[in-house]
Amino acid sequence: MKPAELNAYIAKTPFFRFLKLQVLTNSSDEIETTMPFEERFVGNPVLKNFHGGIIASYLEASALLLILNLPVKGLPKPINLTVDYLRPAGPKPLNAQAHISRSGRRMASIEALVWQENSNKPVAKGLFHFLLV
């Protein structure tokens, strides 16, 4: 799918609209997305940092959008996910890059990384496994 097609899909999906994520680039095995900072995403009101659940949801949403590039009949189902939080994410937009690390007939593994201003200083990384049905 082209980024415009994925952004149209995002516009139809309530949770993706809640996150306000956008697809920047997309290929058959990699995707880049961005998500703005909003007060409703704050987990610590004193420090104004993103809530960890929002970061994990953003990573999973980016991984799922990448899976939509594969020839699957229905929506893929998450089997397992692991998120490692590496540093706090302050009040700036988040960027993510996800790539397919392994894809078979029944399962796909996606690795994703999220950062703010510098991709060499990631905020979190994730490993996601999806059942392809």
pLDDT at 98 over 80: yes
Does residue 130 carry a pLDDT above 90? yes
The tens digit of pLDDT for each residue in 35-70 reads 999 999 998 888 899 999 999 999 999 999 999 888
Tally of domains in the chain: 1
What CATH code is carried by the domain that includes residue 46?
3.10.129.10
Location of structure tokens 């961005």: 34
Q: How confident is the model at residue 9 (pLDDT cuts 50, 70, 90)?
A: confident
Quote the pTM value.
Answer: 0.92
- Whether 55 and 123 have beta carbons less than 8 Å apart is answered as yes
* Domain encompassing residue 45: 3-131
